[in-house]
Structure 1
Amino acid sequence: MAENARVSGHRTLTGLLKKAAAEFPDRRALALSGKYELTHGRLDELVDQAADRLLRLGVRRGDVVALTFPNTIEFVVAFLAVIRARATAAPLNSAYTADEFEFYLSDSESRLLLTPAEAASNSASVIAAAKLGIPRVAVCIDPSTLSVSIAGNLLVDEHQSDSSLSSVINDADDVALFLHTSGTTSRPKGVPLTQQNLGASTQNIVGVYELSSTDATVIVLPLFHVHGLLAGLLSPLTAGASAVLPAAGRFSASTFWADMRAYGATFYTAVPTIHQILLDRHASKPETDYPKLRFIRSCSASLAPAVLDRLEKAFGAPVLEAYAMTEASHLMASNPLPHRGPHKPGSVGRPVGQEMAILDENGVIQRANANGEVCIRGPNVTKGYKNNPEANKAAFGFGWFHTGDLGYMDSDGYLHLVGRIKELINRGGEKISPIEVDSVMQSHPDVALAVAFGVPDDKYGEEINCAVVPRDGASIDEAEFLRFCKKNLASFKVPKRVFVADSLPKTATGKIQRRLVAEHFLAKVSAAKVPKFGA
């Protein structure tokens, strides 16, 4: 184990995990609530076993391996095994439709699909993989023996494979993780993140929150997102701490606090929607006792100051807002722990682990309190989008990565966000491309034009609405139209309200002015009948 840590290097995520396993072999690393636990030492052994098996199946350095699981220990072991084998893990949301799986599997150039053993042959992911000719492999952990099995189609003849884990040395430049981030003017963009990116980010998170082997958390966010994966799972593991997975494989407000107490949790990280759900339950059905937490973390969407105040009063812990994005391997800025500095209401905190600057349109760094685009650079930042030179040209300029967010740095170095250049809809931390929703809506046979837009929402921060223009001679039945959307979009991308209009405002070049559409229908939301534009 010590040798593997040495050859992997502490600039890599794999090296950091090996180091934690060597230092804390008998401490709990993972638990499936109420069922079984894995120590850091045992987790390391299972990951190596699974990685060796993947190599013998034919997985090689640079191969993209897609994974679609609920939040299970099988996912964690499979994910870490893929990157240990020097391949690239591409976690996917199991709520995707078959068409969406087909796009993401194709765009990532996945060579293999890993699923739970119980995944049905008619599930969307399996159907899409079969259509694309991508082999599927099932992953299962036996809770009685704590052993892992990986069974399925081979990429090579196993008897002819001469690869074994003993010859595999992880490198900082290995692409370990591939995620998609939605764009507003194009299809979703593929973000490759290296072992160094992930290693740097986990160390940034460990450092700013002072995570140690005495910490524990309950994971409430899906692990196919960078927030849950990096801040909820991987950072605690590299610190020798532990993470608990809910028995149901997903967040449940009814069991959350019981799990937090049972496993001695010291913090949790979540999106504002989860915080609001926990506050609602606290108001209607409070716990008799809440655990003593070091902090509560909020990220991925704006947290209202009033909600922050309620969280601190309800659960007796400081709430630390943070700022993150996929291209930065998650964390970019965070409010500090109380003994490290003040929390500033309305601020997402100070830069963590990378350089940050506010630039004007000419690339000039702005003075304190002057607005501009938030830009970053550092070892946690992706080197560029996959096969997308146009997006890279737009995102990388003047030696910086451009986030697309507008903000300013105050005289104390705290970042304040004031708006978005991009038009992404941020629904409870889910970043949704309106262009993607537009495309599906406009494939409806009765729709001539369609545009999706975000509207303020108390629970999710933003919700999706849409405006549609029927084809000549056609009419739009809202219920039928929404059924169509539900069939072709993941549930969180389906508009919650449909406005039918005679026309939509456009630029001189014919581009629909999304912002004007949103402003118009928000202003007319209480009207019984939606008037024409200009009426």
Structure 2
Amino acid sequence: MSSSTVASTLADLTRRLTAGPTHPEKKFVHTGMAYADLYRMAAHILRDLAGEKVVCLGTDDRATASAAILAALAGGPRLILPYALTPSVLEEIRGLTGYACAITAGEDLPDSGVRRFVPQSEVAEWPCDPSPSPVDMDDPWIDLFTGGSTGTPRSWPKTVRNLLAETLNIVETYGVTDTDSIVSTASPLHIYGLLYGILAALAASATIAPGTPSFPAEIENAVLQHRATMLISLPAHYRALTVHAGKALPVRLAFSSAGMLEQADAEAFGARNQVGVNEVYGSTETGGVASRNRFLGETDFTTFRPVTVKRVDENLWVRSDFLSPNLPLDAAGYYAIGDRAVFTAPDRFMLTGRSDSVVKVGGKRVDLAEVRDRILQHDGVSEALVTALPVGRARENLIVAVVEGAVDGDELNARLETALEPYARPRRIKIVNKIPITAAGKYDRRQIEMFFKES
């Protein structure tokens, strides 16, 4: 597809989304609001927050989030999506952005100095006054925040082009239509949940399930109750479904992102439900880069059609309309992702580890991914995270591991003594029932670091 065709298609989608609902009486949220109600709620935001330049989305309620997203697209205030709704995170992000207003679904705010705005679907009509004026294609639309490896919030602005180009790719690649029903266990505050659980639904006039189920029985019940055709979920939730002796899920599409899905969990889901999991590889800053479906025999990743990749010194670089505008690019517009890869075809690759997974300990190179693999070979270990913590002012590293499962720490240490060189062995190991994860489905680095500060 030529760049001019893509631009025209994006402009068409923007106009369509801001013109009003294509199917006003159709349900947007199962057992909840219709599309007409959704747009009325967005009109309330446009009308009453016309003087605000930026607002925080202080809720993960899907209807409210969707209305705020539509309002921002139609010329309303720029939208901030925090990576968590905890008081500390909201306070940090307010300090970085200076937002004075937050949209909620009725939840209280931790900061009394922030105006709380609860949009309603009965007090305004779409179109409204001021009339919708879509954001320019390359202007920021939504600011997504991530915790970052240090725990400090980091902003990733996304333009209309970034998000709607990827939305079009999702809809066209997977054939999303207005007959689809979507259950998402990924928060709409995370880019993956935003794209697959909200924007794809809006673009296709599909229906979404309310709430964000996380326990396996909740996920199963939501899929069955709402006759879901699409499941948007996370590796941790697929792991839980693997051990849950539940019913087959009659979905036609399943997706996983926000981390690597274990092969055993991909195989278990495919065998039970006779549909494979589409594993989406990417990040908040890059958007989706590629996907694979191991139920179909795919072991390598195939890049999405609008994406191009290259390999420089074993490292993977990406170029696409999905890239956040604040990323450092080379002269040809490519961004270095930070993963090592081997190409199996011009548009296909196998990941071989993180570029930054290799650290130096005592002047010797240690591959943290290899250490993790050795730990996972021990009986009783179901998951492991191996990381390196800085020691003192010198650029030295202390290797530590958090291990999930029913395992004896002394036995594991004894096993690692024979499996790894002394400098590569974790100096501290914490055995837990469950490795803590954030709402976005990623490891909670802050809580993990606290394990070792306390020991």
Q: Is TM-score (shorter-chain normalized) higher than 0.5?
A: yes
Shift of 1:182: 4.6
Q: Aligned residue for 1:382? A: 324
Query: How many residues align structurally?
Result: 384
Q: Does residue 315 of the first structure (1) align with residue 273 of the second (2)? A: yes
Q: Aligned residue for 1:50? A: 45
Gaps of 5+ in 1: 1-7, 150-162, 361-371, 386-391, 425-452, 469-503, 528-535
In 2, the alpha carbon distance for the partners of 1:195 and 1:166 equals 19
**Which of 42, 58, 67 does residue 68 from structure 1 map onto?**
58
Q: Aligned residue for 2:444? A: none
Alpha-carbon displacement from aligned partner over 1:455-508 (angstroms, at most 9, x marks no partner): 85979965477869xxxxxxxxxxxxxxxxxxxxxxxxxxxxxxxxxxx4x7xx
Q: Are 1:218 and 1:260, in contact at CA under 8 Å, matched by a contact in 2?
A: yes
- State the one-letter code of the partner of 2:122: S
1:364-403 map, 5 Å: 372-384=314-326, 392=328, 396=330, 398-403=332-337
Q: Aligned residue for 1:271? A: 234
**Which of 409, 420, 437 does residue 354 from structure 2 map onto?**
420
1:151-300 map, 5 Å: 164-166=129-131, 168-184=133-149, 187-246=152-211, 250-282=213-245, 286-287=246-247, 290-300=248-258
Q: Which moved more, 1:226-235 or 1:348-357?
A: 348-357
Shift of 1:267: 1.5
Q: Are 2:100 and 2:115, in contact at CA under 8 Å, matched by a contact in 1?
A: no
Give the 3 Å change call, closer, same or farther, for CA 225–74 of structure 1 in structure 2.
same
Give the 3 Å change call, closer, same or farther, for CA 336–41 of structure 1 in structure 2.
farther
Q: Which moved more, 1:399-408 or 1:255-264?
A: 255-264
- State the one-letter code of the partner of 2:325: K
Q: Aligned residue for 1:404? A: 338
* Paired residue secondary structure (2:259): coil
* Paired residue secondary structure (2:104): strand
* Paired residue secondary structure (1:251): coil
Q: Aligned residue for 1:498? A: none
* Paired residue secondary structure (1:322): strand
Q: Does residue 354 of the first structure (1) align with residue 354 of the second (2)? A: no
* Paired residue secondary structure (1:321): strand
1:451-490 map, 5 Å: 456=372, 463=385
Q: Aligned residue for 1:41? A: 36
In 2, the alpha carbon distance for the partners of 1:460 and 1:88 equals 42
Shift of 1:10: 3.5
Alpha-carbon displacement from aligned partner over 1:106-146 (angstroms, at most 9, x marks no partner): 223434222332315xx3xx25xx3xxxx3223154xxxx5
Q: Does residue 512 of the first structure (1) align with residue 396 of the second (2)? A: yes
Q: Aligned residue for 1:83? A: 73
TM-score, with structure 1 as normaliser: 0.63
* Paired residue secondary structure (1:317): coil
Q: Are 1:320 and 1:334, in contact at CA under 8 Å, matched by a contact in 2?
A: yes
TM-score, with structure 2 as normaliser: 0.73
In 1, the alpha carbon distance for the partners of 2:430 and 2:135 equals 59
Alpha-carbon displacement from aligned partner over 1:312-361 (angstroms, at most 9, x marks no partner): 11222122212121113x311112698xxx5412x23333422222223x
In 2, the alpha carbon distance for the partners of 1:316 and 1:12 equals 36
Q: Are 2:83 and 2:145, in contact at CA under 8 Å, matched by a contact in 1?
A: no
What do you get for the CA RMSD once the two structures are aligned? 3.5
In 2, the alpha carbon distance for the partners of 1:15 and 1:136 equals 30
In 2, the alpha carbon distance for the partners of 1:167 and 1:17 equals 10
Q: Aligned residue for 2:437? A: none
1:17-166 map, 5 Å: 17-18=17-18, 21-22=21-22, 24-31=23-30, 36-55=31-50, 58-59=51-52, 63-98=53-88, 100-119=89-108, 123=110, 126=111, 130=113, 135-141=114-120, 146-147=121-122, 164-166=129-131
- State the one-letter code of the partner of 1:92: P
Shift of 1:169: 3.6
Q: Aligned residue for 1:11? A: 11
In 2, the alpha carbon distance for the partners of 1:17 and 1:167 equals 10
Q: Aligned residue for 1:327? A: 285
In 2, the alpha carbon distance for the partners of 1:271 and 1:460 equals 16
Shift of 1:226: 0.5
Shift of 1:174: 2.7
Gaps of 5+ in 2: 1-7, 359-367, 402-422, 432-455
Give the 3 Å change call, closer, same or farther, for CA 198–460 of structure 1 in structure 2.
farther
- State the one-letter code of the partner of 2:234: V
Q: Are 1:89 and 1:177, in contact at CA under 8 Å, matched by a contact in 2?
A: yes
Q: Which structure ranks higher in relative contact order (CA pairs < 8 Å, sequence separation ≥ 6)?
A: 1
Q: Which moved more, 1:308-317 or 1:169-178?
A: 169-178
Alpha-carbon displacement from aligned partner over 1:33-89 (angstroms, at most 9, x marks no partner): xxx32233332233223222211xx12xxx221112133422322333233234321
Give the 3 Å change call, closer, same or farther, for CA 359–266 of structure 1 in structure 2.
same
* Paired residue secondary structure (1:356): strand
* Paired residue secondary structure (2:69): helix
Alpha-carbon displacement from aligned partner over 1:377-428 (angstroms, at most 9, x marks no partner): 222222215xxxxxx3xx555531221121122126322111112469xxxx
In 2, the alpha carbon distance for the partners of 1:196 and 1:12 equals 12
Shift of 1:201: 0.8
